[in-house]
């Protein structure tokens, strides 16, 4: 079993290191043809605008979209989630290309700048009932996006409640947002 990790920018080394610790072969993906050798894909956290520019430069978008369409498991953390969203708001001027495939709308940098990054324990009842394990998962929100809307085919595993009045970049009246972790 080989797991690809998109290795253009961001925390790809950390993902490869964890896979190694788990005894799983991690493959750094930088070229479209490398996706043919893996059955799973992780798109790591980082900076999605930069990652998108590099993906465009390496002509990776068509192969990434193809990979997602095959239904092989893909996991996106933070910037990776932004990559996978069908729609993103809060983008830099000129926008950014997305891979898409995940029926949701994300808001980049929803909680503010780097200094507003934080950690929180999130209740994960679905995971506990299916897999057992601890009641909570420690969420790390590093200049994190929020998921503002999800389509009917998306299962939400954890939620982090946000008061819109406390949020610097809030542009909606939505009170409960789901975040990536």
Ligand X SMILES: NC(=O)CC[C@H](N)C(=O)O
* Neighbour count for residue 105 (Cβ, 10 Å): 15
What number of chain residues touch ligand X (CB under 6 A)? 12
- 86 binding ligand X? (CB under 6 A): no
**Cβ–Cβ < 8 Å for 79, 136:** no
Of 97-105, 118-126, 138-146, 157-165: span binding ligand X (CB under 6 A): 138-146
Q: Does 46 bind ligand X (CB under 6 A)?
A: yes
Q: Which of 149, 156, 138 is nearest to 171 (CA)?
A: 149
Binding of residue 97 to ligand X (CB under 6 A):
no
Q: 12, 19, 41, 48: which one contacts ligand X (CB under 6 A)? A: 48
Q: Is 76 among the residues that bind ligand X (CB under 6 A)? A: no
By CB under 6 A, residue 55 contacts ligand X: no
> What are the C-alpha distances in Å from 176 to residues 118, 121, 147?
17, 16, 10
What residues does 161 pair with on adjacent strands?
Answer: 176
Interface residues with ligand X (CB under 6 A) are 45-48, 78-79, 82, 108-109, 142-144
């Amino acid at each position: 079993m080989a797991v690809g990790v998109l290795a253009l920018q961001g925390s790809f080394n950390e993902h490869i290191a964890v896979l190694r610790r788990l005894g799983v072969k991690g493959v750094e993906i930088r070229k479209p043809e490398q996706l043919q050798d893996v059955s799973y894909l992780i798109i790591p956290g980082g900076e999605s605008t930069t990652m998108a520019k590099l993906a465009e430069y390496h002509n990776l978008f068509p192969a990434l979209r193809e990979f997602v369409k095959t239904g092989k498991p893909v996991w996106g953390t933070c910037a990776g989630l932004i990559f996978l969203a069908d729609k993103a708001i809060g983008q830099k001027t000129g926008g950014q290309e997305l891979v898409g495939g995940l029926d949701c709308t994300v808001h980049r940098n929803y909680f503010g700048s780097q200094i507003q990054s934080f950690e929180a324990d999130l209740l994960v009842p679905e995971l506990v009932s299916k897999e057992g394990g601890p009641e909570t998962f420690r969420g790390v929100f590093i200049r994190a996006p929020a998921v503002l809307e999800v389509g009917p085919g998306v299962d939400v595993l954890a939620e982090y409640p946000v008061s819109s009045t406390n949020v610097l970049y809030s542009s909606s009246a939505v009170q409960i947002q789901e975040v990536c972790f």
